């Protein structure tokens, strides 16, 4: 017997088709007595069975907005600090050279130690120069004796010429002899001073306070006056200079902002901080000594000289360092935590902002460096805007979020961690 109806076992009210097939078959067995005129009732029965057996799937609840931590931006005075490269330079450097010819007898210092100005470093054989000094001493004594004789003769003739006991010519000769004897004394005294100075040059002393380097010459070596090679070098390292360089374009831009009133100069002495090449912060602060009034033609850089205390001798000449130089103050600075700023594929700094409708917006920023652990933002953000600093990786621009204050979120997370 041909079935009364050929139903299509599709899903009814969300039920699987095989479930509907079984249910319809059972219903048909119960209504075999029904004829063609009851086909409409059978169809209605199928619909009712499907709805009763499967029921309807309740609609799912919409997901909650993602929670993000935000910081509301406010303006505050910010000191503009430039990080500049530099090298340490000794305040004074003295190359020790002999001023006379002779043989070095002794070296009287320990290499690498600190010496004081006037301390004897080398002793040159003084025998020849001591003899010259003694000869000059004797020459001066003879000249002074001759001067005494000439002075007495000149005084006697000056009296005798008044009574015409001697001629005027004799008196004039006596006066000239005395003057010549006086001059000879001056010459002898100068020669003695020269001999004394030369004798003192046999003791080579340190010209400045500082640290002495290795000795190039040893005892027994012959040295000459004004030779090219120094015997050793003394450097004054406390305090010490740090010469840093800044591009002329950066200085010009800073001056333009100062002239426009956007920035102002800070008050008082400019304190400079230093970081060594290994990343360690130098414990002593320095100060700006001067800025060159000329630009290096080959590099386009301007030199800034800073002065640092160096009591422990940690800074040595020639070291590469990073200097942090305060240059101006921005009274309307906007600082954004570094974790709130990322970079796009073009390398531009960007930030995610939550607008007044709690939707996420992406902003491209113009920054002016870092201040501690925050970025100083020049363009792209305004005071009062909320920047996402946590949870930004879970949202996209245009998404609706649930913003919470950053510090409050950190406190809540800390409490939750303690509770676990």
- pLDDT tens per residue, range 77-121: 888 777 888 999 999 999 999 999 999 999 999 998 999 999 999
Q: How far apart are the first and last CA of the chain?
A: 72
Which residues 6+ apart lie within 8 Å of 49 measured at CB? 20, 23, 24, 27
Tell me what the mean pLDDT of segment 301-323 comes to.
90
Note the pLDDT of residue 16.
52
Note the pLDDT of residue 362.
93
293: containing domain = 72-88+236-417
Last-in-domain residue among 234, 264, 295:
234
Residue 66 lies in a domain: no
Whether residues 225 and 240 share a domain: the answer is: no
* Three-class DSSP category at 184: helix
Share of the chain above pLDDT 70, in %: 79
In the block, residue with structure tokens 């600075």: 333
| CA 19 to chain CA mean position, Å | 77
**CA distance to 122, 124, 126, 206, 273, per residue, from 101 (Å):** 13, 9, 10, 18, 48
Whether residues 326 and 365 share a domain: the answer is: yes
Note the pLDDT of residue 21.
53
For the chain, counts of helices (H) and of strands (E) = 6, 20
Nearest CA to 310 among 177, 418, 209?
209
Whether residues 10 and 120 share a domain: the answer is: no
User: Do the beta carbons of residue 371 and residue 78 sit within 8 Å?
Assistant: yes
Residue 404 lies in a domain: yes
Which residues 6+ apart lie within 8 Å of 185 measured at CB? 140, 143, 144, 147
Whether residues 153 and 197 share a domain: the answer is: yes
Whether residues 105 and 78 share a domain: the answer is: no
User: Do the beta carbons of residue 85 and residue 303 sit within 8 Å?
Assistant: no
Last-in-domain residue among 180, 199, 234:
234
262: Cα within 13 Å, side-chain hemisphere: 10
**What is the C-alpha separation between 243 and 314, in angstroms, rounded?**
16
User: Do the beta carbons of residue 387 and residue 69 sit within 8 Å?
Assistant: no
pTM of the model: 0.62
Whether residues 340 and 405 share a domain: the answer is: yes
Cα dihedral sign, 172-174-179-183: positive
Residue 65 lies in a domain: no
Could you read off the pLDDT of 39-81 as tens digits, one per residue? 545 454 555 445 544 555 555 667 788 899 999 999 888 887 7
Nearest CA to 307 among 83, 116, 92, 82?
92
Q: Is the pLDDT of residue 407 over 60?
A: yes
Q: Is the pLDDT of residue 20 over 60?
A: no
Higher pLDDT, 183 or 64: 183
**What is the C-alpha separation between 302 and 292, in angstroms, rounded?**
6
Whether residues 253 and 386 share a domain: the answer is: yes
Tell me what the mean pLDDT of segment 158-167 comes to.
90
Whether residues 197 and 106 share a domain: the answer is: yes
User: Do the beta carbons of residue 29 and residue 49 sit within 8 Å?
Assistant: no
207: Cα within 13 Å, side-chain hemisphere: 14
Nearest CA to 277 among 316, 331, 335?
316
User: Do the beta carbons of residue 288 and residue 272 sit within 8 Å?
Assistant: yes
Tell me what the mean pLDDT of segment 260-267 comes to.
64
Residue 116 lies in a domain: yes
Whether residues 172 and 34 share a domain: the answer is: no
Residue 46 lies in a domain: yes
**What is the C-alpha separation between 238 and 316, in angstroms, rounded?**
10
CATH number of the domain at 116, please: 2.40.50.100
Q: Is the pLDDT of residue 410 over 60?
A: no
Could you read off the pLDDT of 24-38 as tens digits, one per residue? 455 555 545 444 445
Whether residues 5 and 138 share a domain: the answer is: no
Whether residues 138 and 207 share a domain: the answer is: yes
Residue 56 lies in a domain: yes
User: Do the beta carbons of residue 275 and residue 339 sit within 8 Å?
Assistant: no
Residue 67 lies in a domain: no
CATH number of the domain at 373, please: 2.40.30.170
Last-in-domain residue among 200, 217, 234:
234
**What is the C-alpha separation between 338 and 281, in angstroms, rounded?**
21
Q: Could you give the number of structural domains in the chain? A: 3
Whether residues 153 and 188 share a domain: the answer is: yes
Residue 363 lies in a domain: yes
């Amino acid at each position: 017997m041909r079935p009364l109806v050929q139903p299509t076992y599709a899903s009814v009210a969300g039920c699987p088709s095989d479930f509907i097939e079984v249910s319809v078959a059972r219903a048909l067995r119960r209504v075999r007595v029904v004829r063609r005129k009851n086909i409409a009732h059978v169809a209605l029965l199928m619909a009712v069975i499907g709805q009763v057996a499967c029921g309807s799937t309740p609609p799912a609840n919409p997901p909650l907005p993602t929670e993000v931590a935000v910081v509301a931006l406010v303006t505050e005075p910010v000191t503009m600090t430039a990080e500049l490269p530099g090298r340490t330079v000794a305040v004074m450097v003295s190359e020790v050279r002999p001023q006379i010819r002779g043989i070095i007898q002794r070296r009287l210092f320990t290499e690498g130690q600190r010496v004081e100005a006037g301390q004897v470093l080398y002793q040159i054989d003084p025998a020849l120069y001591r003899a010259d000094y003694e000869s000059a001493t004797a020459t001066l004594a003879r000249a002074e004796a001759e001067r005494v004789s000439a002075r007495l003769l000149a005084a006697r003739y000056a009296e005798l010429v008044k009574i015409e006991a001697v001629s005027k010519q004799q008196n004039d000769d006596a006066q000239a002899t005395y003057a010549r004897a006086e001059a000879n004394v001056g010459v002898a005294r100068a020669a003695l001073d020269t001999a004394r100075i030369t004798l003192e040059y046999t003791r080579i002393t340190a010209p400045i306070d500082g640290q002495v380097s290795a000795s190039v010459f040893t005892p027994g070596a012959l040295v000459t006056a004004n030779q090219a090679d120094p015997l050793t070098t003394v450097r004054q390292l406390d305090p010490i200079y740090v010469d840093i360089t800044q591009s002329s374009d950066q200085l010009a831009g800073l001056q333009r902002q100062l002239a426009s009133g956007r920035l102002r100069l800070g008050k008082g002495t400019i304190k400079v901080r230093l970081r060594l090449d290994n990343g360690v912060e130098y414990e002593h602060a320095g100060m700006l000594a001067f800025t060159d009034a000329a630009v290096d033609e080959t590099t386009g850089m301007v030199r800034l000289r800073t002065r640092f205390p160096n009591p422990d001798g940690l800074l040595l000449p020639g070291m590469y360092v990073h200097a942090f130089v305060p240059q101006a103050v921005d009274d309307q600075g906007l600082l954004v935590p570094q974790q709130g700023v990322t970079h796009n594929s073009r390398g531009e700094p960007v930030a995610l902002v939550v607008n007044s409708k709690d939707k996420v917006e992406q902003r491209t920023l113009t920054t002016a460096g870092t201040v501690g652990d925050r970025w100083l933002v020049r363009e792209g953000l305004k005071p009062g805007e909320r920047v996402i600093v946590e949870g930004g990786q879970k949202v996209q621009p245009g998404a609706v979020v649930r913003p919470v204050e950053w510090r409050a979120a950190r406190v809540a997370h800390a409490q939750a961690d303690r509770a676990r």
